[in-house]
């Protein structure tokens, strides 16, 4: 169900990432149907029969007093997780054909996920912004004020330079010492093969890796009224292109590229979520909660 408060064009009118995140998450949560897959960390889930070896701290002693039988009390989200968002802040992210460009959309997305993780799930959350270098790092934490630090990190993330996953990736390993969820937010203008090969090591250490692929509608369906000279925002390379090519061949190549990326990431055990900047954010939140639920 599309939520009115999740439309990017409306979010663009809200100043302050925290308010944006609160609007998105509250709007999203209030629209949810109750489901066994979704819940919050202090919510009771079920009783399970005690088997030798189980942690005695989970035994419900009140039940034992009444029934003299040992049961374990289980909660949803009872384990804390670590959420780390790797945010691409390269030049191509500032492309936008309407009110919200890809960088803004990525900020809204990251802020909403942080808000949901910290306030809803009590997870530790961290942020790494990068282009061809690592630009900023906010260490995952559950301390008071972490959300504000993360949002400040998002505010400071300015699109510049060009994307290069291979160079900063080796540093990611140093930062990601605890297992958790790694969400990479980027427009992924790279060869799917090399991209997956570069990111795959993150998965080897037991992290759940999800690629949030942010694209502008014109990235997929460019509008050209006549033969045009196109300029690459990152490399400033120029190319003359005809509308016929943009209308037919290019669209086919984009669809192939997206399908290839999706297939390769899933084959590598990573999640993939394509997000268009004119679509609401709830799809991304849903993906996160699904992932989070799977870790219980």
**Binding positions for other proteins, rule: CB under 8 A:** 92, 95, 102, 187, 189-190, 216, 218-219, 222-235, 237-247, 249-250, 253-254, 257
CB of 100 to other proteins, least distance (A): 14
- Asked whether the beta carbons of 156 and 138 are under 8 A apart, the reply is no
Nearer Cβ to other proteins, position 223 or 295? 223
Nearer Cβ to other proteins, position 30 or 225? 225
Nearer Cβ to other proteins, position 227 or 294? 227
Nearer Cβ to other proteins, position 108 or 189? 189
Nearer Cβ to other proteins, position 80 or 235? 235
174: Cβ–Cβ under 8 A, 6 or more apart, which residues?
none
Two structure tokens written together for 49: 């029969």
- Residue 83's H or E segment, with its range, is strand 82-88
237 vs 253: CA distance, rounded Å: 19
Cα atoms in the 13 Å half-sphere on the side-chain side of 195: 24
CB of 108 to other proteins, least distance (A): 18
Two structure tokens written together for 103: 């960088």
Buried b (16+ CB within 10 A) or exposed e, 204-239: eeebbbbbbbbbbeebeebebeeeeeeeeebeeeee
276 vs 282: CA distance, rounded Å: 12
CB of 196 to other proteins, least distance (A): 16
Nearer Cβ to other proteins, position 117 or 184? 184
CB of 135 to other proteins, least distance (A): 19
Residue 114 burial (CB count, 10 A): 28
Two structure tokens written together for 33: 């149907």
CB of 226 to other proteins, least distance (A): 6
């Amino acid at each position: 169900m599309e939520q009115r408060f999740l439309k990017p064009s409306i979010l663009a009118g809200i100043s302050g990432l925290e308010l944006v995140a609160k609007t998105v998450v509250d709007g999203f949560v209030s629209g949810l149907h109750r489901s066994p897959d979704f819940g919050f960390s202090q919510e009771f889930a079920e009783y399970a029969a005690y088997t030798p070896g189980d942690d005695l701290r989970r035994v419900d002693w009140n039940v034992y007093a009444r029934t003299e039988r040992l049961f374990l009390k289980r909660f949803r989200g009872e384990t804390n997780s670590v959420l780390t968002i790797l945010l691409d802040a390269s030049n191509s992210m500032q492309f936008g054909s309407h009110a919200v460009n890809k960088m803004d959309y990525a900020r809204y997305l990251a802020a909403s996920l942080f808000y949901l993780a910290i306030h809803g799930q009590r997870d530790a959350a961290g942020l790494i912004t990068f282009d061809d270098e690592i630009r900023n790092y906010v260490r995952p934490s559950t301390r008071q004020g972490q959300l504000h630090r993360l949002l400040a990190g998002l505010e400071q993330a300015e699109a510049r330079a060009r994307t290069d996953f291979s160079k900063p990736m080796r540093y990611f390993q140093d930062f990601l010492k605890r297992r958790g969820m790694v969400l990479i937010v980027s427009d992924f203008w790279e060869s799917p093969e090399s991209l997956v090969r570069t990111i795959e090591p993150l998965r080897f250490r037991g992290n759940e890796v999800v690629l949030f692929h942010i694209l502008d509608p014109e990235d997929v369906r460019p509008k050209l009224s006549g033969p045009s000279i196109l300029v690459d925002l990152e490399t400033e390379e120029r190319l003359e292109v005809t509308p016929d090519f943009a209308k037919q061949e290019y669209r086919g190549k984009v669809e192939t590229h997206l399908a290839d990326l999706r297939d390769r990431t899933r084959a590598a055990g990573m999640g993939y979520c394509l997000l268009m900047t004119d679509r609401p954010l709830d799809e991304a939140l849903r993906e996160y909660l699904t992932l989070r639920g799977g870790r219980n």
